[in-house]
């Protein structure tokens, strides 16, 4: 298996209007499902550990988990730390061999966001690790939106963080939201287009569970080279496990139970991979 350098891969993807999907995972079972889907879809994938997973397991163990699961597919699995608000957690993940980290300073002032990002970019440099930064806000969950367009990434702020901290990829708040939302989020493609024209770095779209396929594909054509998907993985995992447990709790041994759950998670992961691999299907 050839594992291309991730920083180069996302640059190439932006140029070719392709997109890598990062899937939030919790443990060996959903990570196996992602690996199996990558094998079927014939494309590289990223698994993303979010901070509670790292706090519970350590980034060392997460790295070992992905190394152990890599042989399930011939496709490269890249490991990413998602939404870390802690510079120290990013540094630890870099030391433990992650391919990629996100330093999320989006809830801080621009000045603090730039300073945090700069520190992580410097630390990651010698290890060749990709750094993702965020400008604007991804709505949903506990993100505080102070005014109507508070979430919207400003082009000037994106340019400032790129010039001063130079992260490799940029997550931008353009209206998408984490998780299931009562109404379909309105995506500000006009702003995405302005940002894409202002910087060369590949862009990242968060909130992949609630974005329509045609919007994902439109965003990819505009410069999005990484899409984050989480909620649909977690909810499928929990609902399918609950169903299996309900069948007969007295004989619900984990390996037998997970044998039925993993293929269900694989199906939703594959469905999202097919949504971004549209170049191989109907649209070209
Ligand atoms: P969803 O949970 O909406 O798929 O978003 C995931 C995400 O953006 C993680 O960073």
Share of the chain above pLDDT 90, in %: 83
Tally of residues, the chain: 284
Q: Does residue 249 fall inside a structural domain?
A: yes
Q: Does residue 162 fall inside a structural domain?
A: yes
Q: Does residue 284 fall inside a structural domain?
A: no
Distance 189 CA to ligand 1 centre (A): 19
Q: Residue 99 in contact with residue 80, Cβ under 8 Å?
A: yes
User: Given pLDDT bands bounded at 50, 70 and 90, which one contains residue 279?
Assistant: low
User: Does position 145 have pLDDT exceeding 70, yes or no?
Assistant: no
pLDDT on residue 177: 87
> pLDDT digit string (tens) for 74-89?
999 999 999 999 999 9
pLDDT on residue 143: 65
pLDDT on residue 201: 98
Distance 49 CA to ligand 1 centre (A): 12
Q: Residue 132 in contact with residue 204, Cβ under 8 Å?
A: yes
Q: Is 150 noted as a catalytic residue in this protein?
A: no
Which structural domain range is residue 215 located in?
A: 16-275
Mean pLDDT across 128-135: 98
Q: For ligand 1, is residue 207 a contact (CB within 6 Å)?
A: yes
Q: For ligand 1, is residue 208 a contact (CB within 6 Å)?
A: yes
Nearest CA among 141, 76, 73 for reference residue 107: 141
176 against 171, higher pLDDT: 171
pLDDT on residue 208: 95
Q: Does residue 282 fall inside a structural domain?
A: no
Based on the structure, what is the number of domains in the chain? 1
User: Does position 9 have pLDDT exceeding 70, yes or no?
Assistant: yes
Q: Does residue 116 fall inside a structural domain?
A: yes
Q: Does residue 102 fall inside a structural domain?
A: yes
Q: Does residue 8 fall inside a structural domain?
A: no
Distance 141 CA to ligand 1 centre (A): 10
The 3-class secondary structure across the chain, one letter per residue, is CCCCCHHHHHHHHHHHCCCEEEEEECCHHHHHHHHHHHHHHCCCEEEEECHHHHHHHCHHHHHHHHHHHHHHCCCCEEEEEEEECCHHHHHHHHHCCCCEEEECCCCCCHHHHHHHHHHHHHHHHCCCCEEEEEECCCECCCCCCCCCCCCCCCHHHHHHHHHHCCCCEEEECCCCECCCCCCCCCCCHHHHHHHHHHCCCCEEECCHHHCCHHHHHHHHHHCEEEEEECHHHHHHHHHHHHHHHHHCHHHCCHHHHHHHHHHHHHHHHHHHHHHHHHHHCCCC
Residue that the structure tokens 């597919």 belong to? 73
Pocket test for ligand 1, best of 19, 208, 273 (most atoms within 8 A of CB): 208
Q: What angle do CA 126, 130, 136 make, to 5 degrees?
A: 130
Residue 123 in tokens: 């630390």
Q: Does residue 28 fall inside a structural domain?
A: yes
User: Does position 142 have pLDDT exceeding 70, yes or no?
Assistant: no
User: Does position 275 have pLDDT exceeding 60, yes or no?
Assistant: yes
Residue 54 in tokens: 């790292």
Dist. CA 200–CA 125, nearest whole Å:
19
Mean pLDDT across 245-257: 87
Which atom from ligand 1 is nearest to the alpha carbon of 83? 10
> pLDDT digit string (tens) for 194-228?
999 999 999 999 999 999 999 999 999 999 999 99
Dist. CA 87–CA 79, nearest whole Å:
17
pLDDT on residue 150: 81
Q: For ligand 1, is residue 137 a contact (CB within 6 Å)?
A: no
pLDDT on residue 282: 45
> pLDDT digit string (tens) for 15-54?
999 999 999 999 999 999 999 999 999 999 999 999 999 9
In CATH, what number is assigned to the domain containing residue 143?
3.20.20.70
Dist. CA 195–CA 166, nearest whole Å:
15
> pLDDT digit string (tens) for 86-125?
999 999 999 999 999 999 999 999 999 999 999 999 999 9
DSSP-derived secondary structure letter, 233: H
137 against 121, higher pLDDT: 121
User: Given pLDDT bands bounded at 50, 70 and 90, which one contains residue 283?
Assistant: very low
Query: For the chain, what is the mean pLDDT?
Result: 94
Pocket test for ligand 1, best of 143, 230, 276 (most atoms within 8 A of CB): 230
Residue 134 in tokens: 């965020």
pLDDT on residue 24: 98
């Amino acid at each position: 298996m050839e594992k291309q350098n991730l920083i180069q891969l996302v640059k190439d993807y932006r140029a070719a209007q392709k997109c890598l999907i990062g899937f939030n995972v919790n443990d060996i079972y959903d990570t196996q499902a992602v690996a199996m889907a990558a094998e079927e879809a014939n494309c590289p994938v990223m698994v993303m550990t979010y901070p509670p997973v790292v706090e519970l397991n350590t980034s060392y163990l997460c790295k070992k988990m992905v190394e152990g699961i890599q042989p399930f597919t011939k496709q490269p699995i890249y490991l990413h730390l998602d939404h870390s608000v802690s510079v120290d957690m990013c540094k630890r993940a870099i030391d433990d061999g992650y391919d990629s980290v996100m330093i999320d300073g989006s809830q801080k002032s621009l000045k603090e966001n730039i300073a945090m990002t700069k520190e992580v970019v410097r630390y990651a440099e010698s290890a060749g690790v990709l750094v993702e930064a965020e400008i604007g806000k991804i709505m949903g969950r506990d993100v505080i939106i102070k005014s109507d367009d508070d979430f919207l990434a400003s082009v000037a702020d994106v340019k400032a963080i790129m010039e001063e901290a130079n992260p490799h990829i940029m997550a931008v708040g353009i209206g998408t939201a984490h998780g299931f939302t009562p109404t379909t989020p309105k995506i500000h493609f006009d702003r995405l287009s302005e940002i894409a024209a202002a910087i060369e770095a590949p862009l990242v779209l968060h909130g992949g569970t609630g974005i329509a396929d045609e919007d994902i594909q439109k965003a990819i054509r505009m410069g999005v080279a990484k899409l984050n998907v989480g909620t649909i993985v977690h909810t499928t995992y929990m609902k399918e496990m609950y169903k299996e447990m309900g069948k007969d709790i007295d004989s619900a041994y984990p390996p037998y139970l997970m044998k039925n759950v993993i293929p269900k998670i694989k199906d939703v992961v594959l469905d999202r991979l097919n949504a971004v691999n549209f170049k191989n299907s109907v649209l070209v």
